[in-house]
Amino acid sequence: MELYRDPAVPVEKRVEDLLSRMTLEEKAAQMMCVWQRKADTLVAATGEFDPAKAKAAFGEGHGIGQVGRPSDAGGGRSPRQMAELTNAIQRFFLENSRLGIPVIFHEECLHGHAAPGATSFPQPIGLAATFDPDLVERLYAMTAYEARVRGTHQALTPVLDLARDPRWGRVEETFGEDPYLVTRMGVAAVRGFQGDAPGSYRDGRHVLATLKHFVAHGQPEGGQNCGPANISLRELRDNFLRPFEVAVREAGAAAVMASYNEVDGVPSHANRWLLRDVLRGEWGFRGFVVSDYYAIWELADRPDTHGHGVAADKREACALAVKAGVNIELPEPDAYLHLVDLVREGVLEEAELDELVAPMLRAKFELGLFDDPYVDPALAERVVGCAEHGALALEAAREAITLLKNDGGLAPLDPAKIRTLAVIGPNANRVLLGGYSGTPPHVVTVLEGMRARVGAEVEVLYAEGCRITIGGSWNEDVVTPSDPAEDRRQIAEAVEVARRADVVVLVIGGNEQTSREAWSRTHMGDRARLELVGRQDELVDAIVATGKPVVAVLFNGRPLALGHLVETVPTILECWYLGQEGGRAVAEVLFGDVNPSGKLPISFPRSAGHLPVFYNHKPSARRGYLFDDATPLFPFGFGLSYTTFAVSNVRLEHAVIPRDGRTRVLAEVTNTGERAGTEVVQLYIRDRVSSVTRPVKELKGFARVALRPGETRTVALEITPASLAFHDIHMNEVVEPGEFAIMVGTSSRDADLQTVLLRVE
């Protein structure tokens, strides 16, 4: 038996032996993937494996590194069908490549496996609103299990971009604007996906996590997807790189996806400093880097979107990406088709390919694919979309909902005092999951959730009110605005419905077309304005004019400029996209079965003209505007409850520590209201005098605290050297001596914080 085939041999020895046996062509094949081309090379039109196509395409026996998204074959595979397909494809490559090297199947798993039948939970921006890393870890462990039993090995998730420009259409994919929150959620996601990797991969429940987009993709120039990131090296180090670094060092992330954008004139897929010096050299990353889809091509020129112009053609782009350290090109064989020729011509060394292929072989051995490559289709059918996973999705939806306003205490609603309830709005009975979504086993709209909650005791009326766009989906290129005349006709109908009701629930916001990934010049999703799209403000005014009590429920993928709504409506809930159980969770919160506990993971601007509005700005920023307010409409960390909380007796365990010392800040948190509820206590820190300018405050800790009415609990939050460190005037990461303001409270707003001083000597 060849050494690499022996399960008893250590993984590194198996990798070394296999690599020594591989031809140049076989090494190049491991650096390639097929996705849409699997329809021509692996899969019949109906979605089943096609051995004739496979032998025609891969008959030379070189194999292939990855197969992308088998779940979408033939228009979509059920859990059982996908398991059968991945088994068949895997068997082909094991039996029809010279060395029997298995393939990795990758899938999108942003908020659940993006596949038919998979459980769908809130988008990451909603998960971030929970401030609950334990919940996030459980959700991604669930996702890993659902994906792995179908044959998936790698998730192209989590997104660790800092979303610092709400005009950008991909905000929903992120955990928000703050480096610390994104870090803790990112670490939780990686641990959920990978478990105690690499040992846990062989349990059949875990997959490789992929950190993306590396780096600084979330603050593009003009808020336009893939735009240059005009960010300094110090900002990169202290903010944008931080979540990736911790996810690599602490959670052992297996893979990283380079980003489309450029930093300081260097596109990430050609950035040796980023992918080699920092990622591998400084952080000790031993995994592999995948390209974003078609991004190596874009180092030259891709007419349908853009080209960076740092390569003359795909051949030069291939050489740049290899030298930068991109292990595999996704999603199709394209620029990396030049690998063999570039080695033979002396432009690349074969040893450079060896270096990039080895980590991917290691992952295949660690996953157990050489020893136990197949999955059980019957198990996939039982596990995916099961009731237990739906219950977890419901728990997440409940925690994500954020109460922004509740003047007069209209919510929670009392069904005993309501005979007729109107549910009105373009999002009231629309399936809203957001981007990179599959087709879950069921979806509950707000209308359905409200009717199920009140039963026959309350009559529930419905009117669409207006539309945001005409039909369409996240995937379709063309976005058709709603018709003004038709909208106004529907508004008039909605007014008549509202007049018959005791209370109106107005469900508005955005949809999957008004905020999404702009992946080409014909598929846009970034916006220059942040107000409600279409005639929604007219609908709000018309319904409020009836004099009926109104609760506004928002579904959207990015923060919106809600000034008019805030001035007009007394009660507002922010829901983001809540996944398959969204309507049920909204009904439970509106009727007080669940007390909202969400907090904003991103600041809400007053208008697009107020951007940037992220809370952790420098001292010279936000001086004010003529005729306007520079503060956010709603600040980072903000969220109300149906009860009230008081934070008191904020104190330090040690008020003076050495630079390498630790302490804790303690505070008493009391539920001062009449309902049980959960508060998120937040710790912010500011270095008062420093060698370079520092933010006015930075989140460095938080804790969810569940309290009964009248209950008090002591919360202790750790302050470590990492809480205080930054890159100084010499670009060294240090803790400088001096005074630090330690702020504890319920949001990033100054009025919600209490301060004590810590001295570092």
What single string gives the DSSP state of each residue in 696-713? S-EEEEEEEEEE-TT-EE
Determine whether 735 is exposed, middle or buried from the number of CB atoms within 10 Å of its CB (0-12, 13-18, 19+). Answer: buried
Specify the amino acid at residue 380: A
Residue with tokens 């029997």: 100
**Whole-number Å distance between alpha carbons of 468 and 511:** 7
Set 161, 292, 334, 487: catalytic member = 292
**Whole-number Å distance between alpha carbons of 709 and 649:** 19
Which of 339-343's residues contact partners 24+ apart within 8 Å by CB, and which partners? Answer: 339/27, 339/28, 339/31, 340/24, 340/25, 340/28, 341/315, 342/315, 342/318, 343/24
Give the strand pairing for 104-107 and 753-760. unpaired
Between CA 269 and CA 274, with CA 272 as vertex, the angle to 5 degrees is 80
**Whole-number Å distance between alpha carbons of 380 and 38:** 22
Please answer whether residues 410 and 493 qualify as being in contact, where contact means their C-beta atoms are separated by less than 8 angstroms: no
Structure tokens at 79: 């859990």
First to last CA, the chain: 62
Whether 292 is catalytic: yes
Please name which of 718, 643, 635 lies closest in space to residue 679, comparing C-alpha atoms. 643
CB 394: neighbour CB atoms within 10 A? 21
**Whole-number Å distance between alpha carbons of 579 and 433:** 5
Please answer whether residues 529 and 537 qualify as being in contact, where contact means their C-beta atoms are separated by less than 8 angstroms: no
**Whole-number Å distance between alpha carbons of 688 and 656:** 15
Structure tokens at 427: 């999002």
Find the length of the chain: 761
Residues taking part in catalysis: 292
